[in-house]
Structure 1
Amino acid sequence: MPNFHQALGIIISFATLFYLALYLLDPLRSSLGYAPRRHIQHSTRIVAVGDLHGDIGNAQKVLEMARVVDSDGMWSGEVDVFVQTGDIIDRGDDTIKLFGWMEDLRSQAQRAGGQMLSHLGNHEWMNAIGDWRYVYESEVKTFGGITARQAMISTGRIGRAWAANYTTASRLPLHPILGAPNEDFPPRARSAAGRLPTPLSHAAYSFVHGGLSPNYTRLSPFPSAINAIGRSLLRKLQHRVQPRPHPPHPYPGLPSRATPEEHTFYGSGGPLWYRGWALDDKEKVCREVDSVLEKTGTRRMIMGHTPDFEEIVSRCNGKIIIIDTGISHAYGGALSALSVEYTLKDVRSSSSYKWREKEVVKAVYVNRTVVLVDEERDIFGDI
């Protein structure tokens, strides 16, 4: 009969073998599309900000207020993902400063383990086309003149950032088991995300500048179908001989090589200009929204473009959120940001797998915070 020390040694040996087996099984589970269970519990904080329109002062106030940056304008580390939905350019003089700051923040976020998702708004596209109706003469001077400005937003520093780091649409999963930001929905059939039960399979948000119209035919796979069209058109615009800006010269329009898909993309029903979710009758909007959420594999659509000037607008129980409040001094609207806090916790009992999601979406203003969504749901099954 083993003595106490021998028995203790046997117990330690078995425990070591048990944990070694778990360690060795994790890569196998991952290779088969299963996330290691210790990684399932998760929390994340996301901040999204709408149109900034040439005002770096108000932009910094908003990002500091939302704890994206510190008082020196540096990445704070208090946010996991920062999203900006486009229209940084026009109506102000801070174009160079704002786009430079965004790229600095992107690098700082990456070093700190965070992420930035940036989008081109209709005003970025207008400038790429040569439609300068909302460009201030004083802003052109900050570039050193028309030719220098055209060069910088086509193949220069700003234009290269647009091509490399900006998309038209984004799909942001709330949990990494759904994949990385901008991985397509529907997911690959044999992936872990492809086996998740609803509602967890749709635990993601879409971001776009204008809106994802229910009649827009290139929603799937989301977001790559939309973004591929955008990349193609942007490349054609940036690498053509730059037209003389309108006004005072005639409107140049899209390149002669632009495809029908690219014309639809830039049209009033495309993702850059569509305003239906913000302006259409509530009953119509809430009747149509679910079909778009289903196609994009998301719970909520978040967009800018249509300003309210007083508050962030939530429609259909938070399925649609419009975050343009006229932050720039050109509008004099409300300084605002959207904050999302998400957690998924293991609350299983001895007999069944059980997970609890909590999703809190808030509109953050200078002197107040308004809760737009506060939802908790239980999910059953081995995920």
Structure 2
Amino acid sequence: MASSRFLALLAVFIGIYFVSRFELHKSPAVRETAAAFSAAVYNPIRQALTEQGPDVVVKQDDSQEAFTSVTPSPRSTRAPYTRHIVAVGDLHGDMQNAQTVLQFSGVVDSFGNWTGEADFFVQTGDIIDRGDDTIKLYTWMEKLRVQAAKVGGVVLTHLGNHEVMNAIGDWRYVYPTEIETFGSVAARQKMLTTGRIGRAWAQNYTATSRLPLHPHLGPPNTPFPPENHPVHFQKDEDEDVDEDSRYYDTNEPLSHSALSFVHGGLSPTYSNLAPFPTKINALSSSFLHKLQNRRQPPPHPPNAYPGLPQGTTREEIELYDANGPFWYRGWATDSEEKACVDVEKVLARTGTRRMIMGHTPNFQGIVSRCNGKIIIIDTGISHAYGGALSALSIHYTFTPIDNKEGEPRWIEREVVSALYVDRQETIVDQEREVVGDFRFDTV
């Protein structure tokens, strides 16, 4: 009975096929009538054929859609997503080497203009000192910021310990020839407070950043944990760690698909890690405001060290001390065993999967520790050091895949590479499968 039904349906289908093949070309009216008839009959036939069982397969010629009664994996309309990030460390007054690095990493062209090859360009601080190109470099950063924004790119810049030192009046690493590019000490003080550079620091430079790899997590520097979000703590049995260092949300598989950028480092014992990076950046902003708006002291040297402004809070003092994000070097100097234990706590609390920083130079190249969870990108780019010209490149892809259950499944992949003038070295190449519906709003 089922076989007879199938043969009858197949005969009807073949008849429709030949009508459409040889008659539809006659006139628009005939085409419309035949098409309507075909739709009315073809769809029930397709449904009936689908119900026959897994051994029934009907193929048509190349001009028609092939179909089968075997239920296929749902065809995904979810588009793959990509994000490309380039980061560089300390530049220390060297425009020429900075241009070389940004050019071979694809951020700028031979004229120093934004190429659009990167979605984000990140600089981790210490643009100033040890060289004469302070004005040129900060002017260039603001030019790139505007150019990037016009085509949907983003430039993220950070204050390093040398920016803060200069704001304090600690000019120990300022070359006399660099002061001459400003015209005078007073002119330099004005430029770093109410002038172009000072305004750029206040408006566009943060102490740290949290950069999501996927826009589902929001724009850069979206606070973590999310505001007004219930906090869940994950703690293994007999695990001797503070509960607030083990934050994860099992309902948000991308919660830690983000990177942190900072100049010195995020110490595991620093008291203001969370909410990240909101708390640190608020302290940095208030501290910088006090430095820029006090009567500027005569710089040291040759004068005495000016100290911190009146009214500096205890939290602001902690921000600038050796354990704070401007100066911390533990990720470079601690043993591998200690660093790899401590980094897990910081990553958990900051909603990130790896920390990227400058400050502690390695003149041979970029340093990766603990399977790329700690990456130090200060390689002495400035001619003052004569180190390696380098940049860090992160390629992130989020690709849809399907399965028989029709779950929204994805492959998340992150490839982190160290770029040099003459070579490229892969630091991390990791992927994992993720299930869920995710927002793709551009940021």
TM above 0.5, one fold?
yes
How much has 1:61 moved relative to structure 2? Answer: 0.1
CA contact (8 A) 1:58 1:335 kept: yes
User: Could you tell me which residue of structure 2 aligns to residue 214 of structure 1?
Assistant: 268
How far apart, CA to CA, are the structure 1 residues paired with 2:126 and 2:112? Answer: 20
How far apart, CA to CA, are the structure 1 residues paired with 2:228 and 2:319? Answer: 29
User: Could you tell me which residue of structure 2 aligns to residue 186 of structure 1?
Assistant: 225
User: Could you tell me which residue of structure 1 aligns to residue 349 of structure 2?
Assistant: 295
Judged with a 3 Å threshold, the aligned counterparts in structure 2 of structure 1 residues 9 and 221 are, in CA distance, closer, same or farther, namely farther
Asked if 1:135 is matched to 2:174, the reply is: yes
Aligned length: 356
Runs of 4+ off more than 2 Å: 2-11, 37-41, 188-191, 194-199, 380-383
CA contact (8 A) 1:152 1:159 kept: yes
Look at both structures and tell me which one has the larger radius of gyration over its CA atoms: 2
How much has 1:353 moved relative to structure 2? Answer: 2.6
How much has 1:4 moved relative to structure 2? Answer: 4.0
Question: 2:225 aligns to what SS in structure 1?
Answer: coil
User: Could you tell me which residue of structure 2 aligns to residue 321 of structure 1?
Assistant: 375
How far apart, CA to CA, are the structure 2 residues paired with 1:116 and 1:335? Answer: 20
Q: What percentage of aligned pairs have identical amino acids?
A: 61
User: Could you tell me which residue of structure 2 aligns to residue 92 of structure 1?
Assistant: 131
User: Could you tell me which residue of structure 1 aligns to residue 323 of structure 2?
Assistant: 269
How much has 1:9 moved relative to structure 2? Answer: 9.6
CA contact (8 A) 1:293 1:300 kept: yes
CA contact (8 A) 1:189 1:195 kept: no
User: Could you tell me which residue of structure 1 aligns to residue 159 of structure 2?
Assistant: 120
Question: 2:255 aligns to what SS in structure 1?
Answer: helix
Judged with a 3 Å threshold, the aligned counterparts in structure 2 of structure 1 residues 208 and 9 are, in CA distance, closer, same or farther, namely farther
Asked if 1:251 is matched to 2:251, the reply is: no
How much has 1:266 moved relative to structure 2? Answer: 0.4
How far apart, CA to CA, are the structure 2 residues paired with 1:111 and 1:86? Answer: 24
How far apart, CA to CA, are the structure 2 residues paired with 1:348 and 1:356? Answer: 10
How much has 1:86 moved relative to structure 2? Answer: 0.2
User: Could you tell me which residue of structure 2 aligns to residue 155 of structure 1?
Assistant: 194
Judged with a 3 Å threshold, the aligned counterparts in structure 2 of structure 1 residues 225 and 190 are, in CA distance, closer, same or farther, namely closer
CA contact (8 A) 2:78 2:400 kept: no
Judged with a 3 Å threshold, the aligned counterparts in structure 2 of structure 1 residues 111 and 264 are, in CA distance, closer, same or farther, namely same
* TM-score where L is the length of structure 2: 0.77
How far apart, CA to CA, are the structure 1 residues paired with 2:188 and 2:41? Answer: 74
Q: Counterpart amino acid of 1:315? A: R
User: Could you tell me which residue of structure 2 aligns to residue 25 of structure 1?
Assistant: none
CA contact (8 A) 2:86 2:121 kept: yes
User: Could you tell me which residue of structure 2 aligns to residue 74 of structure 1?
Assistant: 113
How much has 1:198 moved relative to structure 2? Answer: 5.5
How much has 1:5 moved relative to structure 2? Answer: 2.8
How far apart, CA to CA, are the structure 1 residues paired with 2:40 and 2:200? Answer: 60
User: Could you tell me which residue of structure 2 aligns to residue 332 of structure 1?
Assistant: 386
CA contact (8 A) 1:40 1:177 kept: no
Asked if 1:41 is matched to 2:96, the reply is: no
Q: Counterpart amino acid of 1:216? A: Y
Question: 1:100 aligns to what SS in structure 2?
Answer: helix
Note the residue ranges of structure 2 that are not aligned, 5 or more in a row.
Answer: 1-32, 43-75, 231-247, 439-443
CA contact (8 A) 2:267 2:330 kept: yes
User: Could you tell me which residue of structure 2 aligns to residue 5 of structure 1?
Assistant: 36
Structure-to-structure mapping, 1:103-118, within 5 angstroms: 103-118=142-157
User: Could you tell me which residue of structure 2 aligns to residue 376 of structure 1?
Assistant: 431
How much has 1:39 moved relative to structure 2? Answer: 6.7
Q: Counterpart amino acid of 2:434? A: I
How far apart, CA to CA, are the structure 1 residues paired with 2:327 and 2:225? Answer: 25
Question: 1:140 aligns to what SS in structure 2?
Answer: helix
Judged with a 3 Å threshold, the aligned counterparts in structure 2 of structure 1 residues 9 and 96 are, in CA distance, closer, same or farther, namely farther
How far apart, CA to CA, are the structure 2 residues paired with 1:345 and 1:311? Answer: 32
User: Could you tell me which residue of structure 2 aligns to residue 173 of structure 1?
Assistant: 212
Q: Counterpart amino acid of 1:166? A: Y
Q: Counterpart amino acid of 1:174? A: L
How far apart, CA to CA, are the structure 1 residues paired with 2:312 and 2:378? Answer: 30
Question: 1:355 aligns to what SS in structure 2?
Answer: strand
How far apart, CA to CA, are the structure 2 residues paired with 1:240 and 1:189? Answer: 37
Question: 2:103 aligns to what SS in structure 1?
Answer: helix
Q: Counterpart amino acid of 1:297? A: G
How much has 1:188 moved relative to structure 2? Answer: 3.5
* TM-score where L is the length of structure 1: 0.89
Cα shift readout 1:213-270 (whole Å, capped 9, x = no counterpart): 0000100000010000000000000010000000010000110110011100000000
How much has 1:187 moved relative to structure 2? Answer: 1.4
Cα shift readout 1:129-157 (whole Å, capped 9, x = no counterpart): 00000000000000001000000001111
